[in-house]
């Protein structure tokens, strides 16, 4: 932003505050106006978008103590001083400084002000060489990006699977954020331009949103895949069977269990995980062979008969042999 821009724009009027407004009053007014004209609240309204930009530009200058002093000094020179140009009329900002350095044949003085050093001292807090006067002319502070801010949100397992839109209040502003399907517990989502406004025309910072996903009693997320543990009976595992597996959303699918399936075996059901914009995950089912706790007389006799029929096989033979070495 150039000095001419500062001379032509009334940042105090933009924020609706007086020239002697306190930092707190400026901040309060900015937050109120930013909420009113924020693009999220006025989608498709170019006038509101332009107004929001003007508000951010004004706040970037007036919220910075040094920039505000420079701005006030330039505005004072443009309105409260006296300039006699070479053509006999009042000149613009560049003419003023041309007169100061002998470039335009005119002269400039402020009411009640001192000499050349006083003018530069008022602009830059003392010391005429610090503000950037020279062959390149006047330059304001360079654009700087706004700071990032952090926030957190908690959502249900269903919203994490399907994706959702959340509304947050951050720094006095209402911010809407789209959460993609398949978001993980503890995942951080970066929302560009939703942070604090930049200064000197610089871009706004980012909002870093941490997502907390409430646990589900049956399912858990593993990237785009979904996991669950399913109990099966001893006979289903030993003899093999076809079982019904519940998938997320209320449906069931039939899955074959091979004879002799051990506990901990993972079955993969394709395409029944999380559907994202890039892929569709699977449902991973971990089988848990359940040992009955209370056997009836008939069941006990059957197990004893099974044990007698399989006496020749020792499932721990390899471990026992290796333990002796």
Q: What is the pLDDT of residues 108-131, one digit of tens each?
A: 333 444 444 444 444 444 444 444
User: Rg of the Cα trace of the chain?
Assistant: 36
Band the pLDDT of 155: cuts 50, 70, 90: very high
Among 54-58, 86-90, 224-228, the minimum mean pLDDT is found in 86-90
Band the pLDDT of 106: cuts 50, 70, 90: very low
pLDDT for the residue 171? 85
Tokens linked to 98:
């041309």
Band the pLDDT of 4: cuts 50, 70, 90: low
Centre a 10 Å sphere on the Cβ of residue 209 and count the other Cβ atoms it contains.
23
User: Burial level of 197, CB count in 10 A (0-12/13-18/19+)?
Assistant: buried
- Would you say the C-alpha torsion 59, 60, 64, 68 has a positive or negative sign? negative
299-311: average pLDDT: 79
280-293: average pLDDT: 92
Among 50-54, 85-89, 176-180, 234-238, the minimum mean pLDDT is found in 85-89
Q: Give which of 161, 180, 165, 133 is closest to 222, Cα–Cα.
A: 161
- Dump pLDDT digits (tens) for 36-55: 888 777 777 888 888 888 88
Q: Is 67 a residue whose pLDDT tops 70? A: yes
Q: Give which of 2, 32, 41 is closest to 14, Cα–Cα.
A: 32
**CA–CA gap between residue 213 and residue 188 (Å, rounded):** 12
Q: Is 73 a residue whose pLDDT tops 50? A: yes
Among 98-107, 160-169, 269-278, the minimum mean pLDDT is found in 98-107
Q: Which has more confidence, 187 or 91?
A: 187
**CA–CA gap between residue 32 and residue 173 (Å, rounded):** 8
**Contact predicate 106/84, CB 8 Å:** yes
**Contact predicate 140/1, CB 8 Å:** yes
Phi-psi region of 98 (alpha: psi -120 to 50; beta: other; left: phi over 0): alpha
Residue % of the chain over a pLDDT of 90? 39
CA 288 to chain centre: 40
**CA–CA gap between residue 184 and residue 213 (Å, rounded):** 7
pLDDT for the residue 95? 47
Give the global pTM: 0.53
Q: Rounded to a whole number, what is the largest CA-CA distance in the chain?
A: 121
User: Burial level of 190, CB count in 10 A (0-12/13-18/19+)?
Assistant: exposed
Residue % of the chain over a pLDDT of 70? 75
**CA–CA gap between residue 194 and residue 208 (Å, rounded):** 9
245-274: average pLDDT: 93
pLDDT for the residue 228? 95
Mean pLDDT of the chain: 79
Tokens linked to 20:
């002697």
**Contact predicate 291/238, CB 8 Å:** no
**CA–CA gap between residue 295 and residue 299 (Å, rounded):** 6
């Amino acid at each position: 932003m150039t000095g001419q821009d500062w001379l032509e724009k009334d940042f105090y009027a933009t924020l609706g505050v007086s020239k002697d407004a306190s930092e707190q009053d400026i901040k309060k007014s900015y937050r109120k106006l930013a909420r009113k004209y924020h693009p999220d609240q006025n989608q498709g309204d170019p006038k509101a978008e332009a107004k929001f930009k003007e508000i951010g530009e004004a706040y970037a200058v007036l919220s910075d103590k040094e920039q505000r002093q420079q701005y006030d000094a330039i505005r004072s020179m443009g309105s409260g001083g006296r300039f006699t140009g070479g053509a006999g009329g009042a000149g613009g900002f560049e003419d003023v400084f041309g007169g100061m350095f002998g470039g335009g044949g005119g002269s400039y003085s402020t009411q009640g002000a001192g000499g050349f050093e006083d003018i530069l001292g008022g602009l830059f807090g003392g010391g005429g060489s610090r503000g950037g006067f020279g062959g390149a002319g006047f330059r304001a502070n360079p654009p700087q990006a706004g700071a990032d801010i952090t926030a957190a949100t908690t959502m249900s397992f269903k919203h994490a699977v399907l994706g959702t839109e959340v509304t947050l209040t951050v720094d006095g502003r209402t911010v809407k954020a789209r959460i993609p399907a398949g978001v993980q517990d503890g995942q951080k989502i970066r929302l560009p331009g939703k942070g604090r406004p930049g200064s000197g025309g610089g871009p706004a910072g980012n909002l870093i949103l941490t997502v907390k996903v409430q646990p589900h009693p049956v399912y858990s997320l593993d990237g785009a895949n979904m996991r669950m543990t399913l109990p099966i009976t001893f006979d289903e595992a030993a003899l093999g069977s076809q079982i019904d597996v519940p998938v997320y959303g209320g449906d069931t699918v039939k899955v074959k269990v091979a004879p002799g399936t051990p506990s901990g075996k993972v079955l993969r059901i394709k395409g029944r995980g999380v559907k994202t914009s890039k892929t569709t995950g699977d449902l991973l089912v971990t089988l848990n062979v359940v040992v009955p706790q209370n056997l009836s007389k008939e069941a006990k006799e059957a197990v004893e008969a099974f044990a007698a029929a399989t006496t020749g096989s020792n499932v721990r033979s390899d471990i026992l042999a290796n333990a002796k070495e």
